[in-house]
Amino acid sequence: MRWMITGAGGMVGHDLVSALRETDDVRAFDRADLDITDEPAVTAALRGAKPDVIVNCAAYTRVDEAENNEALATAVNGEGVRLLARAADEAGSLLVHLSTDFVFDGRKRQPYEITDAVGPLSAYGRSKLLGERHALTARRHLVVRTAWLFGLHGPNFVEAIRNQVMKGNKELRVVNDQRGRPTYTPHLARAIVRASRLAHADPEMAGIIHYADRPECSWFDFAAAIVEELGLGDVTVSPVSTAAFPRPAPRPAYSVLSTERYEKITGMATEEWRPGLREYLAKRA
């Protein structure tokens, strides 16, 4: 199969290219190679790559900055996806689009299903929801929602905690009233490849799926696990409320994603984030 990856320089894109390169023909485009808001460039890239599958990992991900730059977030996360969907139809390609738990309002206390009502709280969430809607207009499409990503090729929560303790900070305060499912990007990359192959072969697999590692936890739980895996018995992690750390963009308090459809169509359980955390830290050592 021929694959085209946009946003190939980011966490997910980099790991996706690595997962595919040994077995498939991959055309990787980072931000410098392809601006997905540039319609002629998008059209030319697809005509040149002739992909069976396009995986869109390109995104504006500065969640807090998006509150003051919603037009830019919307251009990349929304309009850019519309252009990709149109070009995918012209090329006869499957469009796989990466989305987020931020499309939900976080008021549930049970895992979000793909059929649950959306209600983004932030500019970033609104822009990603618009991108989903554009992706779903492509004749052949798959939207993959995910959450709480950490990987070696981009800023993430694990690195933020690691940096704090490497600087000598012995007392960490981390929010305990937001819950989700941390996801190691190599695990996500494998899941995307698996689901995309199925969706390419069978149109019935189209639509939306959720992928996140298991189990669910709070940010406090995740931070405590990071400190434990680092073997830092002299570092304490204390739980605090979201109100103690006000941010420009509101976060969903509960954004646990149900991965039932992914597991049903692939026949595979999701991976666990704790082994992914160990691998990440070993590679960062």
Q: Which positions are catalytic? A: 124
Report whether 118 contacts 129 (CB < 8 A).
Answer: yes
Dig out the tokens for 82 from the structure.
């519309």
Cα–Cα distances (Å) from 88 to 42, 45, 95, 134, in that order, read 10, 11, 6, 12
d(CA 234, CA 168): 10
DSSP secondary structure, 26-93, as one string = EEEE-TTT--TT-HHHHHHHHHHH--SEEEE------TTGGGT-HHHHHIIIIIHHHHHHHHHHHHTP
Backbone angles phi, psi at 248, to 5 degrees: -60, -40
Q: Strands 149-150 and 25-29, how do they pair?
A: unpaired
The C-alpha R_g of the chain, in whole angstroms, comes to 19
Backbone angles phi, psi at 212, to 5 degrees: -155, 150
Report whether 121 contacts 250 (CB < 8 A).
Answer: yes
Cα–Cα distances (Å) from 111 to 176, 180, 195, 198, 225, in that order, read 17, 9, 20, 24, 22
d(CA 243, CA 12): 30
Count Cα neighbours of 138 within 13 Å in the Cβ-side half-sphere.
33
For helices 273-284 and 219-230, the axis angle rounded to 10 degrees is 50
